[in-house]
Structure 1
Amino acid sequence: MPEDADYGFSTRAIRAGQHFDPTTGAVVPPIYQTSTFVQDGIGGLREGYEYARSGNPTRDSLQVLLASLEQAEHGIAFASGLAAEDALLRAALQPGDHLILGNDVYGGTHRLLHRLHVPAGVEVTTVEMSDSDAVRAAVRPSTRMVWVETPSNPLMKITDIATLAAIGHEAGAIVVVDNTFASPALQRPLALGADVVVHSTTKYIGGHSDVLGGAVLTSDDELAEKIRFIQFAAGAVLAPFEAWLTVRGIKTLAVRMDRHSSNALAIAEHFADHPAIERVYYPGLASHPGHEIAAAQMSAFGGMISVALAGGEAAARTFAESTELFQLAESLGGVESLIGYPSEMTHASVRGTPLEVAPNIVRLSVGIEEVGDLIADLETALPRS
């Protein structure tokens, strides 16, 4: 299928980058589970393939597909989301460069920056990304990158991507958006002015909790070339089977995100005034401070919810350990519902920092089960007064 932006999102999710087997007519492309490729004489490469670290048809298929979905010229796939982030940071930043980071981001991103890149000379300032004046005030002559999560993890903060892109570009900085929570089915940051999108494809893109992966998407030719070199030289590439599984997951991304979003909205509305819950963090609620911006830059509000328990830490721990359909586990974005306690799970690395998550916060990754069953499960697990 031509990589034609005129096709609708769901059509591209199923067909972009997929070259069917002309020998058998199989409608699903094969997995090229090989470590190397025969050469027709020394240097005589077939379709440019030499060794699986430098290129593989199955990985290339996924990279073309992801680029199509994010409306990017280049897609580069990695073995995990953090491998993708690390390659981008190494490609774009030098010692002495300054990065502006949101004050509510995935704990692994904070750990990667502060344990690996800050010691190597990168400077980081943490700000409230929803406050454009605070972002402007954080800009320095050395600012080279603005890193945005929207919706953020785990407090579901919303950043106006177009506004932040303008601020970043005025400063001569690259604007990066982690689009993992929304996925390209709901939000496309490059179309709003961002320069780079990163994903943990482990989450909604893969969608079935059975594969690790990450990706960087951009239309910046020079930056893409640098990232591809790091992908090749450092070797954190996505293996063929994982690439194939991710392509498989993407085919249902649009319909899954519809169901994730509708289920999450129903749950958020149901528990918004529950006596055991102090606050529901979900941008689909009109009471959310970022609701209007989210409605403008997203087509739906996604499947992630966080809640603050009125009973404090003890109530939050009991709640997280008492559900049945919501399984207590790391990660998110699969078809099954998960519940997590960020303070000691996904965000343990930020305890004692400005990004520390309050101990009464519980995060929900709302799956695609029957929403009535999910609501009943949560009701049963909530503490009673």
Structure 2
Amino acid sequence: MKKTLMRPVGLPESASHPVATPLMPSVVYASDTPDALDAQYEGRVAGYTYAREGHPNADVLARRIDALEGAEGGIVTGSGMAAVTAALMGLLRAGDHVLGGDQLYGRSLRLMRDDLPRLGIATSLADPTDVDAVAAALRPETRMVLIEVVSNPTLRIADLDGIAALCAERGILLAVDNTFTTPAAIRPMERGADIVIQSVTKLLAGHSDVTLGWVAARSPEDRKRMYDFAVTTGMTASPFDCWLAERGLMTFGLRFAQAQATAERLAARLADMPGVRRVLYPTREDHPDRARAQAVLRGQGGNMLSFEIEGGRAAANAFAAGAAGVAFAPTLGDVGTTLSHPASSSHRGLTSEARAAIGVTEGFFRVSVGLEDADALAATFEAGLAAARGA
């Protein structure tokens, strides 16, 4: 019997084209000759070889996020933390120093506290709302500053313009994690950032069904270094996750606008509820950084708010259980509202004294506002507060 080679059947020719991006899960891409493969690797022709090095669904998603962020050559990674790691470990080397904001995402803080130092990269933290504190913390060997525009979970606003000017003056890379704020509120490269990071898992994809990250750099050389590190260490993004995220991205602008409007209304309602000690939302008159929020975020507040209730852990337990219908989960950016308790999740690794220093008590909650009706959400939180008072 004659043996035949297993070759993929070509797609049928068509005078039309698909409206939705096809899902392309192939891991391996075949080339015609060694010369053709050389041409791809040397950049003379475009093409794919092996999915760990890139695939069509990742590129389609990356270009869409590039357009939102005003960036070029963004890289999609398997998670938001993979994007943070690609920036830090792809661009830093032993002997360098990186300065981080003192309220970074918990895993970013752990990476800086535990992992970078054992690889010979020095780290320290400073208050990003105070450019003088950032300047005082810089060292001759500082290579990068990593901040978030809005801190998690206390929603303090970084002095982005001051830090960007400082970094430019000193020749230091400024990396901004824009997950909390999103490009709908601010595009950090337009304000002087050299590197921008997104956890696509959150509001960009928006449905709690993908785990992805994205990172871009202003410099082509830095982009290449981050890409090489991501490929070498296998930070590959799943084609299916990329396909889902692109689908979610189509409604990002609508979801952001609706959630932001609801968050502002909910913040006002919460401030008048018995048992609420304080509410943190960037557009409120009593926010400690309101003037900076107006300038940096162009008057927008985003979909995140935080508040503190009276009482300790017993009251917190009662509130979370009593706010039935709102998912109690340490995440953000879903179409549904989620409630998180930093003392038992993102900031559980800190001592109670360290949490108190930044204002995170047992009664402190963070809310990622979704697409529900604002009045219905307010009623749910009122029920939770009644349960907390009973505790």
TM-score by length of 2: 0.89
Residue 153 (structure 2) aligns with: 154
Residue 340 (structure 1) aligns with: 340
Residue 36 (structure 1) aligns with: 28
Residue type of the alignment partner of 1:41: T
Q: How far apart are 1:315 and its partner, in Å? A: 1.8
> Higher helix proportion, which one?
2
Residue 365 (structure 1) aligns with: 368
Q: 1:341–1:362: 8 Å Cα contact kept in structure 2?
A: yes
Residue of structure 2 aligned with 1:379, choices 348, 372, 382: 382
Q: How far apart are 1:43 and its partner, in Å? A: 4.5
Q: How far apart are 1:355 and its partner, in Å? A: 6.0
Residue type of the alignment partner of 1:39: S
Report the identity percentage.
36
Residue 267 (structure 2) aligns with: 268
Residue 105 (structure 2) aligns with: 106
Residue 3 (structure 1) aligns with: none
TM-score by length of 1: 0.90
Q: How far apart are 1:23 and its partner, in Å? A: 5.5
Q: 1:328–1:338: 8 Å Cα contact kept in structure 2?
A: yes
State the distance in 2 between where 1:121 and 1:22 align: 56
Residues 67-101 of structure 1: CA distance to partner in whole angstroms, max 9, x if unpaired?
Answer: 11111122001000111111111122112222221
Change (3 A) 1:48 1:352: farther
Q: 2:343–2:355: 8 Å Cα contact kept in structure 1?
A: no
Q: 1:143–1:171: 8 Å Cα contact kept in structure 2?
A: no
Change (3 A) 1:200 1:369: same
Residue 278 (structure 2) aligns with: 279
Within 5 A, what are the aligned runs for 1:130-279?
Answer: 130-279=129-278
State which drifts further: 340-349 or 355-364: 355-364
Residue 330 (structure 2) aligns with: 330
State the distance in 2 between where 1:130 and 1:25 align: 50
Within 5 A, what are the aligned runs for 1:61-76?
Answer: 61-76=60-75
Q: How far apart are 1:25 and its partner, in Å? A: 2.0
- Please state if 1:82 is matched with 2:87: no
Q: CA RMSD in A?
A: 1.8
Q: 2:256–2:302: 8 Å Cα contact kept in structure 1?
A: yes
Residues 167-217 of structure 1: CA distance to partner in whole angstroms, max 9, x if unpaired?
Answer: 122222111111101111111111011111111110001111110001102
State the distance in 2 between where 1:81 and 1:175 align: 18
The alignment partner of 1:158 has SS state of coil
Residues 112-158 of structure 1: CA distance to partner in whole angstroms, max 9, x if unpaired?
Answer: 22121122122222221101111111111111111111211111110
Q: How far apart are 1:353 and its partner, in Å? A: 8.2
State the distance in 2 between where 1:148 and 1:58 align: 29
Change (3 A) 1:183 1:74: same
Q: How far apart are 1:24 and its partner, in Å? A: 4.5
Residue type of the alignment partner of 2:270: F
The alignment partner of 2:74 has SS state of strand
Q: 1:343–1:351: 8 Å Cα contact kept in structure 2?
A: no
Residues 291-316 of structure 1: CA distance to partner in whole angstroms, max 9, x if unpaired?
Answer: 12222222421111111112233322
Residue 122 (structure 1) aligns with: 121
Q: 2:315–2:389: 8 Å Cα contact kept in structure 1?
A: no
Q: How far apart are 1:277 and its partner, in Å? A: 1.2
